[in-house]
Amino acid sequence: MARKKSKRSSKKSPQLWQWVIVAGAAFLLYQGLQHYLNPENKVPDKKAAAVKAKVEKAKPTPSRPAAAAPTPAPTPAASPAPTGGPVPKWSFENAARFLPAGAYPDNYTAIPLSDASSGLLAYAKEIPGKKPGPQGLTNTQPGLRAMHWDGKKYQSQDLDFEALKPALGGLKPVGPPQAERKAWIANGASVFGTKLFLTDETRFVSGFVVVDAAGPRWAPLQTEDGKTGLAAFLQGTTAATTRKVFKRDIGGKPTIVVEKGSLDLSRPEAGYRWKVEAYAWNGKAFVFDKAVSAKLTQEKKSEM
C-alpha cells in the first residue's frame, strides 16, 4: 500500500523554489547595476576587440626623440674691407663697400680719380639720435672720403669739415656734398669744385677741394691782406648782400672769381656796390691777384 506524503514535506518544496527564484533575480539585478555603473568593465565583443587590436598595432610606436645635433655657430658675414682687392672701375656699385659706418646708404656719389681703381665717395653721415630726412638731405652731416689703391691695399682719408666752422659763422652744412664729377684742375694734384648745403639757409657753400696721395683737403687761399684761409665761400643773397662764385681761366691760370655786392638799405634804389676778387691757382694755393681783381671790379661797375 502506497505511503502517503506528509503535509510537512509538501510544504517545504514550494519554499525552496521561491528562494531560488529570489536569488536569481537578485543576481540579475546586481549584474544590471554593474553594467550601468561601470560600462567599461563589460566584456568586450570579440570582433570589436580584434579591430581595436589592429588599430593599436598600426599606430607608430613612440620612440625616444634623438638628441638634436649641436647647431654650429653662424659664421659672421664678412664685411667688405678697404683692404680688399682693387675694384676694376670706380662706380656707384663698386664703391658701396667703402662707405663708412654711419653713412646714409641710399644717396652717395662715387667720383673716379685718375687711377681707375681709386676715387672719392661723397655721402651723408647720420647724426646719433636723429632720424635722417628723405635721401639723407636733412638731419645729417656731409662726408667726403678718398680711397687710393697703393698697389697692395686701399688707403682712406676723410675731408675735415670742421675746418670750415670759423668761416661759416655758426651755419651748419647738411646732406651729402655735391662734388663735381670731373676735376677742374688736374695738373699734379686734382682740384674739385664742391657745393655744400646749409641747414635752414637758402645760401650754400662753394668750396674747392684738393685731392692727392695725401688725401682730400680744402684748397688753401691767400687773401688780399696776405692772410691764409680756405677756398670756401658763402654764395647767395641776404637782405643787404649778394655773392656769386665762378670758375674762370684767366691768363692761362685757373682762377676763382668772387663777385660781392652790398646794398645800402637806407638807399636801396641806388643798387648794389660791387667788388670783385680774383684768386689764381699757383700749383699749391689760390692767391689773390690784385691786378685782375681791379680790372674785373671796373668791368662789373660799368655793367650797372
- Ordered by start, the domain boundaries in the chain are 80-179
- 129-152 burial, b at 16+ Cβ within 10 Å, e below that, comes to eeebeeebebbbbbbbbbbbbeee
**Among the listed residues 184, 204, 185, the one whose alpha carbon sits nearest the alpha carbon of residue 195:** 204
* Number of residues that make up the chain: 304
CA–CA gap between residue 94 and residue 183 (Å, rounded):
20
Region of residue 170 (left: phi > 0; alpha: psi -120 to 50; beta: else): left
Q: Contact at 8 Å (CB) between 263 and 278?
A: no
What are the angstrom distances between the C-alpha of 204 and each of 4, 232, 273? 149, 10, 22
> How many C-beta atoms surround the C-beta of residue 157 within 10 A?
17
pLDDT in single tens digits along all 304 residues of the chain: 444 444 444 444 556 656 667 666 666 666 665 555 555 444 445 544 554 555 455 555 544 444 444 444 333 333 344 546 889 889 999 999 999 999 999 999 999 998 888 999 999 999 999 999 999 999 999 999 999 998 899 999 999 999 999 889 899 999 999 999 999 999 888 999 999 999 999 999 999 999 998 899 999 999 999 999 999 999 999 999 999 999 999 999 999 999 999 998 888 888 899 999 999 999 999 999 999 999 999 999 988 7
Q: For the chain, how far is it from start to end, CA to CA, in angstroms?
A: 179
CA–CA gap between residue 132 and residue 113 (Å, rounded):
29
CA–CA gap between residue 258 and residue 213 (Å, rounded):
29
CA–CA gap between residue 21 and residue 221 (Å, rounded):
133
